[in-house]
Structure 1
Amino acid sequence: MMLCHVSNLNRHLQTRDQTLSRIKSNIELLVATNGGNRAVVIPHSMGVLYFLHFMKWVEAPSPMGGGGGPDWCAKHIKAVANIGGPFLGVPKAVAGLFSSEAKDVAVARAIAPEMLDSDFLGLQTLRHLMRMTRTWDSTMSMLPKGGETIWGGLDWSPEDGFECKSKKRKTNDSEVSKDVHGEPVEVNPEPVNFGRMVSFGKDVAEAPASNIEQIEFRDAVKGNNLAHSNTSCRDVWTEYQELGWGGIKAVSDYKAFTAGSIIDLFNFVAPRMMQRGSVHFSYGIADNLDDPKYGHYKYWSNPLETKLPNAPKMEIFSMYGVGIPTERAYVYKLSPQAECYIPFQIDASAEGGDENSCLKGGVYMSNGDETVPVLSSGYMCAKAWRGKTRFNPSGSKTYVREYNHSPPSNLLEGRGTQSGAHVDIMGNFALMEDIIRIAAGATGEEIGGDQVYSDIFKWSEKIKLKL
């Protein structure tokens, strides 16, 4: 499910309510025609966020909501089997909105810089892509939620100690190598600061936090003194031409952005985009979920600012792939100036020390399904919703079901029957078996409870969130 931006707010709300009303009617019909047996709902990817929104909408009174009342979900839903759910957002959305890039674009630029850096083909393509994606408010729903509490800061992240190799070691472990004479030498693991979601320069990405001197950007004076500046560049969707050199320099001088400063970054570089998006989405953590303001729909797709329904017998599953390097943080640099250009780009020349490094082509990789990091897919069911918490006051049971990625062994398997990739997991036989058993009436305990290959439970314990 995906909602696209429409310029008129009333029209947007009307479209939203029509879509949600159809979902409500379909579930009610399904239950009514199946002997009162409750439905199993299977959202995938962004649909996970919108079904989370739906469960609040259906409870809420009209006209803000669907008028189903506080027990609607308890009466109609047996289980929600979320597949590849970006509950807490994805760093990939940051790169997409900031520079219209991701790992694939950075790799392509490294292979053929003359194409992507040429004004005729590459730069125009990226500009048009930015104009398009910045009109999709649904993309803004994917920005990381929870700030530094969830994603980490300049000097920590929940995934500290993770290494992009099959055998993981703790942060203080050392690797034994050999020198030219064959004698053993200790090699300390390369530092990975996942909490620095955007760093300007590899040196900043790797430096101790105490060595990073940040110059505040939020109140910096923007200027229009860019070379090649002209009125044709003043596009409401990119907004970059209004930054001027003063604004661009202020961003790069801040050096390192965490999930706590990313939202402020977008408010600075694209204020009109954020003003429009903030009507529909929020990215914080609620101090008091009983505050009446959280009755507004803009909070309903953020699991950190809303409660699960009052449905103690409803089960929630997080089902997602693991074992694939997944975008987690980026090394940036300033772009060469050109007409109407995007001033920031991933530094594809930034590489780690060896083939086991998490840094490849300017992108730091962590564990995930190639699109959504484990942290985003798994944390809510592993910790924040586990048992009775303020986010799950009725104590709906939650389960983490991970599927370890195994690529296809031959061409006859197509995309693979054991794939953990974000889309291809839909053809994963183990996932399909779990879904069929749940739909046939099995509980989470009956299908085996949690199935975990990653360190999601260990990482979740590092997150100090009031539950």
Structure 2
Amino acid sequence: MSFLRRRFGGGGGGGGGGGDDSDISTPVLSREPSPGPDGKRPANLRLITAEQLQTLKKKGQHKKRRNVWVFGLGGLFGLLMAGFFASNNDMIDLKSLEGVNLESIMEALPDNFISSAQQLQKTERDAVNYDSFAVGLHAQKQGIKARHPVIMIPGVISTGLESWGTEETSRQYFRKRLWGSWTMMRALVLDKAQWKRHIMLDKDTGLDPPGVKLRAAQGFDAADFFITGYWIWNKILENLATIGYDPGNAFTAAYDWRMSYMNYEIRDQYFTRLKSHIEVAVRVSDKKVVLLSHSMGSQVLYYFLHWVEAEGYGNGGPSWVDENIDSWINISGCMLGALKDMPAVLSGEMKDTAQLNAFAVYGLERFLSRYERAEIFRAMPGLSSMLPLGGNAVWGDETGAPDDAPGQNVTYGPFIRFRNANSTMTQKNITVDDSLPFLFRNTEPWFKKMIQTSYSHGVAHTTKHVEDNQLLPAKWVNPLETRLPLAPNLKIYCFYGIGKDTERAYYYRSDDDPLSGLNVTLDTMYTQDNVDHGVVMGEGDGTVNLLSSGYMCTKGWKMKRYNPAGVKVTTFEMKHEPDRFSPRGGPNTGMSCPHCRFFLIHREL
């Protein structure tokens, strides 16, 4: 029988002098009861012999020993599990413990524990190795080699954030990633208050709160994996390396995606450093640079193209882009925003949370409530750069929307909808034009101020209006209010997915829970036709709607006022054709992840 299942009995001798207790004489008991403080006998008073008292003492000691042993064993097991999941380079490899007598521990574990752990490790390894180097090897056979220096600008949330704070509350996380690692998951579970304090920016300045210093991780490690086994740019790096790229001619321009764009420069001098990287790469290689951007990274790059030319900012002048940048490869760029950003900051919800079952919703609310999620999202003003741009001119109104399908019964135009119009909060459906005022009425004043001073969401209908906006930093994120650089030799390649259900509009209702801290919540009870748990589904790549990823590439930048220099824009739409056996959809998926499309991107280029 395992020692874990034995009872720890008390052998002879005992400890603490207990072995001599039998020789100690017991005084003769009085026949009168012992009085209490008030002269009365306590109701719970009970007389026992010395032998009975000693037995009770021994039982208490044995119970304490069992508790200490169980606690120690649990700690050892937790350490083993933490090491197992910490990274690919396992802190503790179970095979290395073969020479240690762990039979008793193994007997206490479920029969299939080891096989399940090994299968999990194998699945993770298979996911990492999926299609490794295949595209690069194919290109290599065709004689393709590295030519232009490449700089990659990651998308939202895909850059890891690590702590550099040295105050007492931050020291335990020094140089550990509080976003994009298992450290984040552990901190979120075990130290949620401190994790929130570190991850949320100051609500007045939009910069680090006092005593906190979180910075974007740098180098290729910054964006190749989100957490172990969930790759983002890793596959692109593998295949670029196959055709001759290395740290000498390929770079990752990681950034702290939580901040508003102007604060990138104020705190981290991000745009100054990016400009210098490009100029050095051009000088060293004598070739212009190719820029790759993904998702929100495309908005950041578009902002940079204006900053770098502007007097008083980058001071590069109107010819800088044409002299230094050969091509811009825009992968799933949310040029007109991501609609799912609105419910995230409004009520801390999106399709991913709306589709959870009741049990999962209960667990999520207990762990990280809707209000807490909304609070975190609002305190990351960089995310709000993806609130929808262009208003009703792009997204439609009650009478119709540009992406309405032929014969569609209900238009996509109303963006925020209410089935019950009796409440003062829900008198009418709301279009994209009206959604920002509605958002500001249901959020704090500091959030409204931060968004209005950092971004602009309108449309410029004349060339003069566009040229005037070139001088206003708040307009630089919006391609409908500003123009492309005067760079006739620049080439833009747009790649985006189609054919995958993507969030397009939302059904809301009043939030009747007085403890939630919110006024409205998604109407998750409503599912009908193309409405899934209160989320109206439309066309896109699963994350970015087609109007956002495709409009500027196929039409907007064909207009003279938005592209006066005639920059050549080439568009590739990639239909969502997932591999049913691949956890990430395979090389032909239309999902919004950079390597998910890399095979098609290479084939087209």
Give the TM-score normalised by structure 2.
0.55
Where does residue 376 of structure 1 map in the other structure? 548
Which structure 1 segments of 5+ residues have no match? 162-169, 172-188, 205-214, 216-248, 438-467
Match of 1:135 in 2: 379
Change (3 A) 1:282 1:17: farther
Mapping of 1:285-300 within 5 angstroms?
285-287=459-461, 288-290=464-466, 292=468, 294-300=470-476
Q: Give the CA deviation at 1:286.
A: 2.1
RMSD: 2.5
* Residue among 430, 434, 441 paired with 1:257: 430
Distance 1:199 1:58 in 2: 41
State the distance in 1 between where 2:544 and 2:525 align.
Answer: 24
Q: CA deviation at 1:362?
A: 0.9
The 1:10–1:111 alpha-carbon spacing in structure 2 relative to 1, beyond 3 Å, is closer
Aligned residues: 351
Q: Specify which of 400, 416, 428 is matched with residue 198 of structure 1.
A: 416
Distance 2:522 2:344 in 1: 11
The amino acid of 1:265's aligned partner reads: F
Say whether residues 1:410 and 2:585 are aligned partners.
no
Structure 1 CA distance for aligned equivalents of residues 471 and 337 of structure 2? 21
Alpha-carbon contact 2:415-2:430 (below 8 Å) kept = yes
Pair 1:29-2:280 in alignment: yes
Quote the offset at 1:291 in angstroms: 5.7
Unaligned runs of 5+ in 2: 1-153, 158-199, 209-262
**Residue 535 of structure 2 is aligned with which of 357, 363, 368?**
363
Query: What secondary structure, in the 3-state scheme, does the structure 1 residue paired with 2:497 have?
Result: strand
| CA deviation after TM superposition for structure 1 residue 67, in Å | 0.5
Taking the aligned partners of 2:382 and 2:489, their CA distance within structure 1 comes to 31
Which residue of 1 is the match for residue 334 of structure 2? Answer: 86
Once the two structures are TM-superposed, the CA of residue 112 in structure 1 deviates from its matched residue by: 4.8
CA deviation map 1:151-187 (0-9, x unaligned): 00012000112xxxxxxxx21xxxxxxxxxxxxxxxx
Instruction: Tell me if structure 2 keeps the 8 A contact 1:322–1:402.
Output: yes
Distance 1:422 1:293, change over 3 A: closer
Q: Distance in 2 between matches of 1:281 and 1:404?
A: 32
**Cα deviations across residues 305-343 of structure 1 (Å, max 9, x unaligned)?**
111100011112221111110000011112232324323
Q: Distance in 1 between matches of 2:206 and 2:373?
A: 24
| 8 A Cα contact 2:264 2:270, kept in partner | no
| Match of residue 560, structure 2, among 370, 389, 394 | 389
Distance 1:314 1:40 in 2: 10
Q: CA deviation at 1:406?
A: 1.6
Displacement of 1:9: 6.6
**Among 337, 356, 360, the residue aligned to 1:108:** 356
Distance of 1:136 and 1:422 partners within structure 2: 21
Check 1:145–1:427 CA distance in 2 against 1; reply closer, same or farther (3 A cut): closer
CA distance 1:109–1:333, change in 2 (3 Å):
farther
Contact 1:405 1:418 in 2 (8 A): yes
TM-superposed deviation, 1:432: 3.5
Q: What is the SS of the residue equivalent to 1:295?
A: coil
Q: Which residue of 2 aligns with 1:158?
A: 402
Distance 1:381 1:307 in 2: 13
Match of 1:76 in 2: 324
Partner of 2:106: none
SS of corresponding position for 1:252: coil
Task: Work out the CA distance in 1 between the residues paired with 2:271 and 2:470.
Answer: 19
Q: Which residue in the other structure is 2:527 paired with?
A: 351
CA contact (8 A) 1:157 1:195 kept: yes
Match of 1:269 among 418, 434, 442: 442
Structure 1 residue identity aligned to 2:374: M
- The C-alpha deviation readout for 1:45-74, integer Å capped at 9, x for no partner, is 101001000000000012xx1000001001
In the alignment, residue 342 of structure 2 is paired with which amino acid? V
Select the structure with the greater relative contact order (CA < 8 A; seq sep ≥ 6): 1
CA contact (8 A) 1:91 1:328 kept: yes
Task: Tell me the residue number matched to 2:222.
Answer: none
Give yes or no for the alignment of 1:432 onto 2:602: yes
Normalised TM-score (structure 1): 0.70
Fraction of identical pairs, as percent: 30
1:278 matched to 2:456? The reply is: no
The 3-state SS of whatever aligns with 2:555 is helix
Are the counterparts in 2 of residues 419 and 428 from structure 1 also a CA contact under 8 Å? no
Give the direction of change, closer, same or farther, for the CA distance of 1:110–1:364 in structure 2 (3 Å limit): farther
